Amino acid sequence: MIKATAQETAAQEFDSVVASHRVQIFRFLLASTRDVDLAETLTQDCFLKAHRNWAGFRGESSALTWLMRIAINLQKDHWRNRRLQFWRHTRTNAVDLDEAGEWLPSGERNAEQRILAKEQVAHVWQAVNKLSERQRTVFLLRYVDELELKEIAVTTGMGEGTVKAHLSRALARVRKEFGKD
């Protein structure tokens, strides 16, 4: 009876975690891959893996950083497997940079502001595309998911100094992209 109640509580907790963080995990994976189908698949895999290991989660880090770490590892595994299984016919649905930059929230901007915003977003995508895998991960975790430097360090397994260095290089790249105009 007590065991059943504990299991129910754990299931409810996990449901709450999924509801709270699914959007963020999907957003990070979408920004990393620019592939909607792949981001959805990896998000599902992430929560499946998290569910299997939920009993082992001790809350030493936040649930979000734990989930992000799983998501990053799944993404790495995906690219590694894809490189090894080069003969597999895997369709890549990654959208190009222009298409990714087309999205803007429907706000109270006028046409000129929207065009300017799209140009800026396109510049940032260009810069993100030129970043190394680590720099991109750190940049997206900081400026899209708005994780703290400490959280990024825990998520990626890097030191905080290394995270700062990657972030600084990523920002320099974005600045350079804007300086081309």
Partner 1 sequence: MEHRDENTRQPEELETLEPQLREALDNFKSSVTAWSEAMMSRPREAKAPARTNWGLVAKWVLACAVFAGTVSGGIYQNHRQQEIARAEAAAAAARAAAQQRELAAQAQKEQSAQSAADLMAKVDSDVSQEVPSALEPLASLMTDDQAKGN
Q: Which of 10, 94, 97, 117 binds partner 1 (CB under 8 A)?
A: 117
Give the DSSP per-residue string, 122-144. Answer: HHHHHHHHHS-HHHHHHHHHHHT
Interface with partner 1 includes 91 (CB under 8 A)? yes
* R_g over Cα of the chain: 19
Inter-residue contact 156 to 137 (CB < 8 Å): yes
Span 137-176, contacts to partner 1 by CB under 8 A: 142-144, 146, 171, 174-175
Q: Which residue in 50, 123, 126, 163 binds partner 1 (CB under 8 A)?
A: 123
Give 1 or 112: the residue with its C-beta nearer to partner 1: 112
Rounded to 10°, the helix 133-143/160-179 angle is 90
Tell me if 31 contacts partner 1 by CB under 8 A: yes
Could you give the CA distance from residue 143 to residue 153 in angstroms, rounded to a whole number?
A: 15
**In which element (H, E) is residue 34 found?**
none
Query: Do 22 and 44 touch, CB atoms closer than 8 A?
Result: no
Q: In this chain, which stretch among 46-54, 68-76, 84-92, 155-163 interacts with partner 1, using CB under 8 A?
A: 84-92
**Cβ 90 to partner 1 shortest distance, Å:** 5
Indicate the residue among 35 and 49 with the shorter CB distance to partner 1: 35
- Report the C-alpha gap between 96 and 164 in whole angstroms: 28
Which listed residue (2, 4, 105, 110) binds partner 1 by CB under 8 A?
105
Please tell me whether residue 60 binds partner 1 under the rule CB under 8 A. Answer: no
> Is the CB of residue 136 less than 8 Å from the CB of residue 161?
no
Residue numbers at the binding site for partner 1 (CB under 8 A):
13, 16-17, 20, 23-24, 26-27, 30-31, 36-37, 39-40, 62-64, 87-91, 100-101, 103-106, 117, 120-121, 123-125, 142-144, 146, 171, 174-175, 178
